[in-house]
Amino acid sequence: MKKKLIFANFTPRMQRINTDFSALEGTNCYCSPESAGRIRSVIAGLPLAAFHEIGTGDYHYQTLFWLERVSVPFQLILFDHHPDDQEGAFGKELISCGGWVARARRLPMLCGDLWIKEAADLPALDTLPDLPVYLSVDLDVLDPAWARTDWDQGTMTLDELRTALQTVCASRPLLGVDLCGGLTMEKGASPEDLALNASTGEALFACFRDLRD
């Protein structure tokens, strides 16, 4: 018998939402308090239970703003070549792309976080507590054959990542998903780079759409 899939508060079809705030001043790698307030205000009107595309890895801290909206005990699963849990170099005023996980760990509803850097870490998914999950994916977890970023990258294949996401979503309520990473034209991306990243992003979104069928 096919196992019933469980989703939390999703609309009939999962929405794919572009929440790239890179054009906003004071957001590149570090987010100022003023810009953080504006971003929080905008996303307050957007669904948490959706597939959020947040731009390059320089803006991965936006995940923190989505996590702040979770009102039930939950688990964060981070697919990323970097842990993003370093304390900020400029004090508590600025939120950084490399330190947002450290801040997230202080959220009252976050019961734990699991960092998946490579395929060898995937067995840890079998030990997760029985809690709703929020998934955050940085394309730099993938081998360059599957995505092109401006950070050093991991070795995971697209199939390994998709299988892992499907495994999680088949057994636990899913609160939301975000995706970041990938070169831009401003950072020297070629048409081939852009096409590859777009194809991978489409494949990852299809992973969640397919699970709802």
Name the residue among 134, 164, 152, 137 with its Cα closest to residue 71: 134
Residue 4 falls inside a structural domain: no
Are 115 and 78 in contact by the 8 Å Cβ rule? The answer is yes
Are 57 and 149 in contact by the 8 Å Cβ rule? The answer is yes
- Cα–Cα distance measured from residue 25 to residue 27, given in angstroms and rounded to the nearest whole number: 6
Distance (Å) of CA 68 to CA 56, 73, 103: 21, 12, 10
Q: What CATH number does the domain containing 188 carry?
A: 3.40.800.10
Residue 82 falls inside a structural domain: yes
Residue 199 falls inside a structural domain: yes
> What is the residue type of 15?
Q
Give the total number of structural domains in the chain.
Answer: 1
Residue 75 falls inside a structural domain: yes
Residue 6 falls inside a structural domain: no
The angle formed by the CA atoms of residues 20, 21 and 24, to the nearest 5 degrees, is: 155
Tens digits of residue pLDDT in 83-98: 999 876 666 778 999 9
Phi first, then psi, for residue 176 (nearest 5°) are 170, 170
The one-digit pLDDT tens for each residue of the chain (213 residues) are: 334 444 444 444 689 999 999 999 999 999 999 999 999 999 999 999 999 999 999 999 999 999 999 999 999 999 999 999 987 666 677 899 999 999 999 999 999 999 999 999 999 999 999 999 999 999 999 999 999 998 899 999 999 999 999 999 888 999 999 999 999 999 899 999 999 999 999 999 998 875 543
Residue 5 falls inside a structural domain: no
Name the residue among 154, 179, 206, 8 with its Cα closest to residue 78: 179
Place of tokens 């929405």: 15
Helical packing angle, 191-211 and 158-169, nearest 10°: 30
The DSSP 8-state label assigned to residue 170 in this structure reads: T
Residue 1 falls inside a structural domain: no
- Cα–Cα distance measured from residue 70 to residue 74, given in angstroms and rounded to the nearest whole number: 8
Q: What is the domain extent for residue 143?
A: 16-211
- Cα–Cα distance measured from residue 140 to residue 134, given in angstroms and rounded to the nearest whole number: 18
